[in-house]
Amino acid sequence: MIRLKTKISVRARIRETVSSFTENGKMQKSAFIFRLLILSLLFLTFVTGYGNKNAFNFDKIDDFARSVKLKPSERPGDLAIRLTKNASTDIEKARAIFVWLTENIRYDTESYFSGRNEPRTLEEILHSGKSVCQGYSDLFETMSRSAGLEAVTISGWAKGASYSPDTFMSGSTNHAWNAVRIEGKWYLVDCTWGAGYLSGREYIKHFDEFYFFTPPEQLIHTHFPKNNDWQLLEPKMTKEKYLSIPKSWPNCFRCGVELLSDAYENMRVREEETFQFGVNEGSALLVTLYGPDRNPRKAHVFVQRSGNMYEVRTRFAEKGNYELHIYARKETDDDPLFHSAIAISLINAYA
């Protein structure tokens, strides 16, 4: 029933998008095409079975996985068998492994910031309790296979803590994540990002549900695989399109934040620009414009809300690089803070 309701909602959004373009002409053509593409992908996701993880209650398997302690000298395969012994389905097996890794392995900030990542066996990584993304993904693949699942490690690029639109994807791949096959379908998993995040040089341990079975049309906003087949999308997104998409966070999808204007990464702006955003019912946005010195330009942003639509008028008084940062929260959240949803890199070359 929930799945059917979602399908109807997506169909309605597609009709609204077409109507807004064909009837009022308010939406620019490229923004219309991009929005329609994302909504169509979202529709296909629910039709083909992606995005259904919310239909499962993982409380028991999560609690069990978090209670399992690593034994001295235990190998990844043996741990996987213990972790999945109470699982009644393959999805519960994958979930138990994901939860255990995100709970017990911390990101190796020392190796990341020093650039020295000494080769280690999976047993060494497991018992050290820390790793970079390759270790997380190799452990997930190995443990999944030991539990009887088909899993692979995916190499590619991700818009993470060190992301800069000027230099991104100019070198070798910078991230690794996984796909696991359940009942004939491939699902995407990122244990590294599910375990926590970097705030400056500090690692914040934080379990993020979003990175377990992330819908492909959402993960592609931040993760671009070297092998395009692992986008799990049809049609495939091009590298050029991926680079043009502003950086996003899970909160973007959680609150239903949509960029309705014809804006893209490293977009050249004039002294004054207007951007439009949509948001789900019951969610709210907070907008900050950061200047070339990375300080907020509070006096240079005017935000007007009408229902679930936001119009953001901005002024770029200086020449240089700017960032329009959109924060969001649900009105029912206990947390009073707004968290990152979308960040758009903008360039004023005319001042």
Catalytic residues: 133, 175, 190
* CB within 8 Å of 30: residues ≥ 6 apart: 262
CA distances from 31 to 18, 166, 315, 342 (A): 12, 23, 21, 16
Task: Look up residue 105 and give its amino acid.
Answer: I
| CB contact at 8 A, 233 and 214 | no
User: Residue 93 is encoded by which pair of tokens?
Assistant: 């097996």
CA distances from 80 to 24, 96, 97 (A): 56, 9, 7
